[in-house]
Structure 1
Amino acid sequence: MNIPRPLRRLGLAAGLGACVLLAACGDAARSGGATPVEITRDTYCALDGMLLADYPGPKAQIHYDGQPEPEFFCDTTEMFAIYLKPEQARKVRAVFVQDLDKTRWDAPQGAWIDARTAYYVVGSSKRGAMGPTIPSFGSEAGARKFAEAQGGQVLPFAAITPDMARLDGGALHDQKM
C-alpha cells in the first residue's frame, strides 16, 4: 500500500501522541487517580499529631478510598508501618513519598512521587522526625549515592518488610535494661 509521506508522518505523530497519553494514564492508574497534596504549616501526622513542616527527612501520604483527604506521616517509616500492617483493611488508592533526589533533607518541600516506584535506603545513619527512617528516592542512582555517604541498603518498595519499618526503634528487644 502506497501511503503519501505527509499522511505517514501524521499517522506516526498520532501514534506517538497516543503512546504519551497512554503512559500518562498508566501513571494516573498506578496512583489510583489521586494526586499528592502539599504540606502546609498546619499539616499534622496521622499517628502522633506532630506538625510535619517542623521536622527533617522525607514525608509520606496515603490516600484511602472513600476518604477525601490523605493521611500524612512524619516520615516514611511510619507510612510503611501502617501500610504493611496485616490488619490494614482500608483500600489504599495511592501512596506518595518525597523524592530526595529533588528536595532537601532538612526542609523537604514538594517533590512527591508514587511510593511504589521509589527506591529506599534501609539502615542508614541519617535520622528523620522519629529517629531511624527509610529515605526515599526517585532514582536508584540517587539512593545508592545516599547509601554510600550514610550507609544502608538500597531496596525497591516491594522489598520493604514490616520488620524494617518498626516504630519502637528496637526498644522492645533491648536486653540491656
Structure 2
Amino acid sequence: MYRRRFIAGLAVTAVGSTGCLGGNSSEDVPDPIALSGEKFDDQGGMAIGDHGGPNGQVFYAENSPEGHENPAWFHTLVFGLFPYHFDRLDRGWEAEAVYVTDYSKVDLPSSSDGNPRLPAPTAADTFADATEVTYVAESEAVGGMGPALPPFSEESEAEDFAERYGGRTIGFEGITSTLIEELKRNAPGGMGMNGMNMSDG
C-alpha cells in the first residue's frame, strides 16, 4: 500500500510540500481512482488513456474541477496535471492528494529506435503518491503530447530508465513551473492554446 500524504503550502515555483493538513490522519486521504471510462483531461479536454504517457489525478480539499467531483484528472503531466495544479495553487486551492502513473508497476515496451512510447494505464492500482516517486525529465521517452515526465516508485528503476533513454532523475520538489515550461517549449511540432501541443506529437 502506498503511503499517503497531504500536499500543503505554496511556493513560487514548486508544486507544494508534503505534510498533514489541519491535523488530519493519513486515513482521511482519498485513494486514487481508475481513470478509464471516457474521462477527459481537465486541462485540455483529451481522452485519458488513448494517447500514451503518464496520467495523473488531484483531489482538492475545498474545491473541485469544473463539471465533476474530485479528483481532477489528466492524460499528461507536462501539459495537464502540473500546469493545472500550479494555477490552482495560485488561486489558493489546497490539495489533499496528488497521484501519478507509477511505471515501476507497469510493463514498459522495448524500443529499437531509442524513442520509447510510454503506455497510459488507467487502473487505480497503477497510480502512486506524486510526492514519493522519482521522475525522469528530458529523456527520449514520449507520451501522447510529446515530452513525458515518467514517474517511478523505485528510484533505481528511474535511474536505469534515464541511463537507457537519457534525461535526469528528480524528486517531486524538483518539479517547478520553470521546468514544466522548458519541457513544453521543447515539445515537437510547436504548441497551441494554453501550451497544448496541437500536433499531438
Pair in the same fold by TM > 0.5: yes
- Asked whether 1:42 is paired with 2:57, we answer no
Residue in 1 that maps onto 2:81: 79
1:106-132 Cα distance to aligned partner (Å, 9 max, x none):
242431110000100010111112111
In the alignment, the residues of structure 1 paired with residue 137 and residue 91 of structure 2 have an alpha-carbon distance, to the nearest angstrom, of 22
Check 1:31–1:50 CA distance in 2 against 1; reply closer, same or farther (3 A cut). Answer: farther
Structure 1 residue 137 displacement after superposition: 0.6
1:64-89 Cα distance to aligned partner (Å, 9 max, x none):
11334211111122212232346242
Tell me the secondary structure at the aligned position of residue 163 of structure 2.
helix
In the alignment, the residues of structure 1 paired with residue 162 and residue 28 of structure 2 have an alpha-carbon distance, to the nearest angstrom, of 31
In the alignment, the residues of structure 2 paired with residue 146 and residue 33 of structure 1 have an alpha-carbon distance, to the nearest angstrom, of 30
CA RMSD, 1 decimal: 2.3
Check 1:33–1:139 CA distance in 2 against 1; reply closer, same or farther (3 A cut). Answer: same
In the alignment, the residues of structure 2 paired with residue 31 and residue 73 of structure 1 have an alpha-carbon distance, to the nearest angstrom, of 24
Tell me the secondary structure at the aligned position of residue 145 of structure 1.
helix
Residue in 2 that maps onto 1:115: 130
For structure 2, list consecutive stretches of 5 or more residues without a partner in the other structure: 6-24, 108-117, 192-201
Structure 1 residue 59 displacement after superposition: 0.5
The structure whose Rg is larger is 1
For structure 1, list consecutive stretches of 5 or more residues without a partner in the other structure: 1-23, 173-177
- Percent identity over the alignment? 27
In the alignment, the residues of structure 1 paired with residue 103 and residue 74 of structure 2 have an alpha-carbon distance, to the nearest angstrom, of 16
Residue type of the alignment partner of 1:73: F
Tell me the secondary structure at the aligned position of residue 113 of structure 1.
strand
Check 1:168–1:145 CA distance in 2 against 1; reply closer, same or farther (3 A cut). Answer: closer
1:31 touches 1:94 (CA, 8 Å); kept in 2? no
Tell me the secondary structure at the aligned position of residue 95 of structure 1.
strand
Instruction: Tell me the TM-score normalised to structure 1 length.
Output: 0.74
